């Protein structure tokens, strides 16, 4: 599932795609649940003007004030080709403008695009973005410090901090030396401050490489047909049974919050 670095990479791809500033000429919906128009009028004739991101969602702003809110879920992304062109069987929603054809490509079909007059409700349900300039280490420590749940499940909760998913939570907790099952309120303050700096460092590093693509199947993430390059830099995620590069212990895998969770038993002691 695309997390913050992957969605940011998709945002950058779309922003420079040439589809921006064009008027949408046609909208074709192949899978009914992939597109919902909650606004009062049709999309055709409106133009994209800018694209913003909060957490794992994209907000494509239109020149009439409306917004397309994109939830990528497990396998959504966008591809851009010239129009007319053949539709891929996994293209669920297709926008055309001039000689461009922008497809919402979603093999597993859990993603959705909502056209709305007002995105404030959706934005409001999301906690502060993990890369927001207003998320200081003190704010992060305050947000996490009162939660009496496993730190991993708190970090996955999009209503507290938005943007992190299974890959990056495992990576950030390893970098900060925090066991994923420790209750958030029991993590010492210096460790929460370290978590803050490691979170930013890891997310920025991944964005600079276009995010993480796992495996090579059709449903694996890519942005505009280009795979992310961060996979070789993952320290624990998908590395169970391998050696920890910091201490040589064998990386373990447990379940936390119904998610496969990778950690180093030596670097991340449960104390
Ligand atoms: Zn280790």
Same domain, 150 and 115: no
Are 68 and 152 members of one domain? no
Active site residues: 2-3, 56, 259
Among 102, 125, 148, residue at a domain's last position: 125
Domain co-membership, 234 together with 168: yes
Domain limits for position 78: 4-125
231 CA to middle of ligand 1, Å?
A: 19
Distance 210 CA to ligand 1 centre (A): 27
User: Do both 102 and 147 map to the same domain?
Assistant: no
Ligand 1: centre distance to CA 124 (Å): 38
Q: What are phi and psi of 73, to 5 degrees?
A: 50, -135
CATH number for the domain that contains residue 119: 3.20.190.10
Total of domains in the chain: 2
Q: Can you give the CATH number for the domain in which 194 is found?
A: 1.10.8.50
Q: Is residue 170 part of a domain?
A: yes
Kindly state whether residues 118 and 133 are assigned to the same domain. no
User: Do the domain assignments include residue 233?
Assistant: yes
What is the widest separation between alpha-carbon atoms in the chain?
60
pLDDT tens string, the chain, 271 residues long: the values are: 899 999 999 999 999 988 887 899 999 999 999 999 999 899 999 999 999 999 999 999 999 999 999 999 988 999 998 877 777 889 999 999 989 999 999 989 999 999 999 999 999 999 999 999 999 999 999 999 999 999 999 999 999 999 999 999 999 999 999 999 999 999 999 999 999 999 999 999 999 999 999 987 777 888 888 899 999 999 999 999 999 999 999 999 999 999 999 999 999 999 7
What does the pLDDT read at residue 84? 79
144 and 242 assigned to the same domain: yes
Is 0.85 surpassed by the pTM of this model? yes
Looking at the structure, tell me whether residues 116 and 16 fall in a common domain.
Answer: yes
Same domain, 167 and 100: no
What is the pLDDT at residue 35?
Answer: 97
Residue 271 belongs to a domain: no
Which of 125, 146, 178 is the last residue in one of the domains? Answer: 125
């Amino acid at each position: 599932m695309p997390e913050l670095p992957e969605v940011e990479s998709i945002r950058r791809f779309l922003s420079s795609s040439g589809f921006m500033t064009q008027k949408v000429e046609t909208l074709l919906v192949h899978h009914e649940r992939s597109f919902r128009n909650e606004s009062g009028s049709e999309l055709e004739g409106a133009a994209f003007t800018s694209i913003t991101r909060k957490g794992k969602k994209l907000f494509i702003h239109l020149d009439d004030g409306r917004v397309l809110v994109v939830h990528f879920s497990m396998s959504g992304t966008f591809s851009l080709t010239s129009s007319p062109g053949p539709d891929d069987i996994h293209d669920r929603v297709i926008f055309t403008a001039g000689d461009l054809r922008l497809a919402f490509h979603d093999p597993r079909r859990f993603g959705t695009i909502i056209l709305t007059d007002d995105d404030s409700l959706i934005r409001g349900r999301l906690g502060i973005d993990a890369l927001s300039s207003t998320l200081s280490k003190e704010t992060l420590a305050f947000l996490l410090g009162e939660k009496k749940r496993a730190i991993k499940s708190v970090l996955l909760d999009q209503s507290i901090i938005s943007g992190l998913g299974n890959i990056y939570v495992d990576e950030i907790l390893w970098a900060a030396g925090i066991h994923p099952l420790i209750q958030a309120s029991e993590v010492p303050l210096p460790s929460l401050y370290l978590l803050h700096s490691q979170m930013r460092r890891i997310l920025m590093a991944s964005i600079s490489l276009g995010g993480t693509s796992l495996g090579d199947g059709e449903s694996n993430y890519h942005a505009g047909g280009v795979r992310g390059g961060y996979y070789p830099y993952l320290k624990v995620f998908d590395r169970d049974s391998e050696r920890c590069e910091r201490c040589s212990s064998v990386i373990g895998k447990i379940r936390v919050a119904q998610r496969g969770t990778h950690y180093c038993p030596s670097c991340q002691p449960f104390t």
